[in-house]
Amino acid sequence: MGTPKRILLLTNSEYGQASVHLAVAHTLAELYRGDVEVHVASFGPLAELVRSASEYATKQNPGALPFVFHRIKGTDMSAAWGRPELRLEEYNGLRPGFFNTPKFLRLLLRLTSPWDGPEFVAIFEAVRALLLHTVKPDVAAVDPAFSPAVTACVHAQVKFCILAPNTIKDFSMPFQPWGQALWKYPALASGLPYPLPWYLVPLNIYFMLYIVMYILITQPTRNLTKYVRQHTDKPAATPLTLNLLNRFPPRGVKSRVPAHKNPPHLVPCGPMIRPAPSVSEVDPDLASWLARGPTVYINTGTLHQITEWDALEIARSLRALFDHASAAPAVPYSDDEPKEGAEREKTRPKVLASGQSLQVLWKLTKRGAYAAAEKGSRIHGVLEEEIEDGWVRIVPWLHPEPSAILAEPTIVCSVHHGGANSFLEAVSVGVPHIVLPVWIDCFDFANRAELLGIGRWANRRTLPLNSARELGPALVDVVLGEQNSQHMRRRAKELAAICGHDGGGRVVAARTIMSEI
Asked if pLDDT for residue 343 goes beyond 50, the answer is no
| 211 is a domain residue | no
Residues 233 and 319 in one domain: no
On whether residue 9 sits in a domain, the answer given is yes
Residues 424 and 336 placed together within one structural domain of the fold: yes
Q: Alpha carbon of 68 to those of 39, 42, 47, 231, 273: distances in Å? A: 5, 11, 10, 30, 21
**Residue 296 CA, distance from chain mean position:** 19
CA 316 to chain CA centroid, Å, is 27
The answer to whether the beta carbons of residues 495 and 452 sit under 8 Å apart is yes
Same domain for 290 and 359, yes or no, is: yes
Instruction: Report residue 366's pLDDT band, with 50, 70 and 90 as the boundaries.
Output: very high
Averaged over 438-450, what is the pLDDT? Answer: 92
Bridge partner residues of 394 (DSSP): 362
Residue pair 256/141 in contact (Cβ under 8 Å)? The answer is yes
In 3D space, the residue among 316, 313, 299, 289 whose CA is nearest the CA of residue 383 turns out to be 316
pLDDT bracket for residue 339 (50, 70, 90): very low
452 domain-assigned: yes
The reply to whether 142 and 288 lie within a common domain is no
Arithmetic mean of pLDDT, 338-343:
39
Higher per-residue pLDDT: 206 or 87: 206
Q: What is the pTM of this model?
A: 0.90
Give per-residue pLDDT as tens, 30-73: 999 999 999 999 999 999 999 999 999 999 999 999 999 999 99
* 340 in the same domain as 271: no
C-alpha 34/C-alpha 331 separation (Å) is 52
Residue 214 domain-assigned (yes or no): no
**Beta bridge pairs of residue 297:** 361, 414
Domain shared by 307 and 326, yes or no? yes
- CA–CA dist 154, 122 (Å, integer): 16
Instruction: Assess whether 269 and 342 both reside in one domain.
Output: no
Q: Cα–Cα distances in Å, from 474 out to 194, 320, 426, 448?
A: 19, 10, 17, 16
In a domain, 336, yes or no: yes
Contact 349, 325 (CB under 8 A): yes
Confidence of residue 261 (pLDDT cuts 50, 70, 90): low
Same domain? 309 vs 385: yes
Please tell me the predicted confidence (pLDDT) of residue 469.
96
204 within a domain of the structure (yes/no):
no
Q: Is the pLDDT of residue 482 over 60?
A: yes
**In whole angstroms, what is the distance from residue 360 CA to residue 327 CA?**
18
**Whether residue 267 is found in the same domain as residue 288:** no
Average pLDDT over residues 6-10: 98
Question: What's the domain range around 16?
Answer: 5-88+115-174+222-275+505-514
Question: Which DSSP symbol is given to 478?
Answer: I
pLDDT tens, residue by residue, 401-421: 999 999 999 999 999 999 999
Q: Is the pLDDT of residue 330 over 80?
A: no
Task: Decide if 270 contacts 517 (C-beta within 8 A).
Answer: no
Q: Are residues 244 and 317 in the same domain?
A: no
Count of domains observed in the chain:
2
Residues 6+ apart with CB under 8 A from 327: none
Identify whether residues 244 and 303 lie together within a single domain: no
In tens, the pLDDT along 347-360 reads 334 443 334 479 99
**Residues sharing a CB contact under 8 Å with residue 333, sequence separation 6 or more, in sequence order:** 294, 347, 348, 349, 412
Per-residue pLDDT at 99: 95
Q: Which amino acid is residue 47, in one-letter code?
A: A
Residue 267 or residue 433, greater confidence = 433
Q: Is residue 429 part of a domain?
A: yes
- Same domain assignment for residues 228 and 331: no
Report the CATH number at residue 11.
3.40.50.2000
Confidence at residue 237, expressed as pLDDT on a 0 to 100 scale: 66
Asked if residue 138 is part of any domain, the answer here is: yes
